[in-house]
Amino acid sequence: MRKITIAIDGHSSTGKSTMAKQLAKTLGYVYVDTGAMYRAITLYALQKGYIGPNIAKPEFLIRELPLIHLEFKHNASKGFSEMYLNNTNVEKEIRTLEVSRYVSQISEIREVRQKLVLLQKEMGKKKGLVMDGRDIGTVVFPNAELKIFMTANPEIRATRRYKELIDRGADISFEEVLENVQQRDFLDTNREFSPLKKADDAIVLDNSTLSPEEQFKRTLALVEDRINTA
């Protein structure tokens, strides 16, 4: 069967990665979580003290970008790929609220985006790929056969994210999570380089009231349609 490229963009905590993973598994496609790449660079900047409360030294980070090696390695027992930063598994560390707090600041640096977009384009050369992020349908794969733009009401997204963090043992309030979601929406959509924006030919999926099953069913129907017609 003909393979296509599927670009999934949208707001934070809309379930993009859950859906992208599920799609990739069903179709036998490769899944790439580009947010993990921006998160890994943010973790690097935090570890080096280039970003933090009242600290912002982007020039140091930019200088060291060639030294940052990112790789996804498949974890067979978990059934998904994990992010490695300079050969260390950082899958857990990149999901903390601390990284979420600074990731929008790091992802607005033009040189960071240039490095990651190049890597992402390389990963997608062979098709048969589901990639999720913020600029996949607009910048990374403007010719993707299927583009989905996921969104949902901010309170609903914060509720989902809060539950996830609490389940992972985080000590955090709902208000902090909601503030982070709203702040990231603002920064992601208002940054100068590759802001989060729906591609003209993307299909909007608002999942505020959709069940994950219903959402998946609709998306799979779109994929089948594109495979047969594109």
List interacting residues with ligand DC (CB under 6 A): 12, 34-35, 38-39, 103-104, 107, 133-135, 184, 188
Kindly state the smallest distance separating residue 185's Cβ from ligand DC, in Å.
9
Kindly state the smallest distance separating residue 47's Cβ from ligand DC, in Å.
17
Helix-, strand-, coil-residue percentages of the chain, each rounded to 5: 50, 20, 30
Kindly state the smallest distance separating residue 18's Cβ from ligand DC, in Å.
11
Q: Which is nearer to ligand DC, 105 or 226 (CB)?
A: 105
Q: Are 5 and 125 in contact (CB under 8 A)?
A: no
Q: Which is nearer to ligand DC, 89 or 221 (CB)?
A: 89
Identity (one letter) of the amino acid at 223? V
**18 CB burial (10 A radius; 0-12, 13-18, 19+):** middle
Q: Which is nearer to ligand DC, 115 or 134 (CB)?
A: 134
Structure letter (DSSP) for residue 80: E
Tokens representing residue 218 in the block: 């609709």
Kindly state the smallest distance separating residue 228's Cβ from ligand DC, in Å.
28
Kindly state the smallest distance separating residue 195's Cβ from ligand DC, in Å.
9
Q: Which is nearer to ligand DC, 56 or 227 (CB)?
A: 56
Q: Which is nearer to ligand DC, 91 or 188 (CB)?
A: 188
Q: Which residues contact 72 (CB under 8 A, 6 or more apart)?
A: 32, 33, 36, 81, 82, 83, 84
Q: Name beta bridge partners: 85.
A: 70, 88
Q: Name beta bridge partners: 51.
A: 56
- Length of the chain equals 230
Kindly state the smallest distance separating residue 134's Cβ from ligand DC, in Å.
4
| Three-state DSSP class for residue 176 | helix
Q: Which is nearer to ligand DC, 4 or 109 (CB)?
A: 109
